[in-house]
A and B are shown apart, each in its own frame.
Chain A
Amino acid sequence: MATTATKSKPVPWRAVDIVQLVLGVIVVVVSALIMWAALMYARPASNLAGDEQLAQRIFYIHMGCNIGALAGFLVSMIGSIIYLVTRKLDWDRVAQASIEAGLVFGLGTVVTGMFWAKPTWNTYWTWDPRLTTSTITVLVYIAYLLLRNGIDNRNSRARYGSIYAILAFLSVPLTFFSARWFRSIHPVVFGNENPDAQGGFDILGGSMQQTLTVSLIGFCVLFSVLVIMRWRQLRMEDDLAELREDLA
């Protein structure tokens, strides 16, 4: 029967359950820690004042979202390559789950950036290269989900989705380097290479560095939990679809 090609082997649910539970508990603790550190522990940026200084604290959650989105799109590319090599649908599910979680954080990056930009640049939005490429990246990955929804055959969906996800990843380095290659007012955190940046600040002292580290690690854990949960669900959906086909 054609459906046996897509049949999944049973997952060691108990191990995955434990990992998910432990990560879930860590996420709750780390999320609370991120909020506390970003709002209270980190010292204010000394070169800023007023609303701009307050809004600078958005930076910690903005960077967290950024790393979550980057992780999502990177894992999706790796998962897609492995799927095309092995043809195991589990890797296609990893790619889809990663892109969905990456999109949540990608949208978070754009929106937190907008709320930071208003008091800093006096506008929510400007067609700056970094803002534009970030938004294009988000739209490119939304298109990935739309493409998948348009293909009925499970294996074709995985194949075309994987090819698309690999090509879509090109937009990620473009976004990263946009503030370095093009004339941009977006601050560059690592390397501080942008002389035209407006609203930038130096990460001074331990509290700012520690808050940033906690945020980056915390968002990576949150990303992992979301991907594991969604991956399990996608697997269940596929198994259900197979069962339905077998019974039909």
Chain B
Amino acid sequence: MFYLFMGFAAVWVFVTGYLVFMGLRQRRIEADLRLLREDLDARAKA
């Protein structure tokens, strides 16, 4: 039963890990976009 559990768990851990990686990456992109927008606003005001 141990091998069966580990075999199945491993696959879903890899898939979840990749989804988490994409989620963290998305957060960084959104943070960069926010900074860029603030930068653009500051330039427009100046």
Contacts and interface: CB of A to CB of B under 8 A. Distances in A.
Chain B interface, DSSP helix/strand/loop, else mixed: helix
Contacts of A55: 3-4, 7
Contacts of B15: 104, 108, 222, 226
Interface string B15-42: 1011100100110010011001001100
Interface residues of B, number: 22
B7 A116 contact: yes
Interface string A53-68: 0110110011011000
A237 B7 contact: no
A243 interface: yes
Interface of A: 35, 38-39, 51, 54-55, 57-58, 61-62, 64-65, 100-101, 104-105, 107-108, 111-112, 115-116, 118-119, 222, 226, 229-230, 233, 236-237, 240, 243-244, 247
14 contacts: A38-B8, A55-B7, A58-B4, A58-B8, A100-B18, A112-B10, A112-B11, A115-B4, A115-B6, A115-B7, A226-B15, A229-B22, A230-B22, A233-B29
Interface of B: 1, 3-4, 6-8, 10-11, 14-15, 17-19, 22, 25-26, 29, 32-33, 36, 39-40
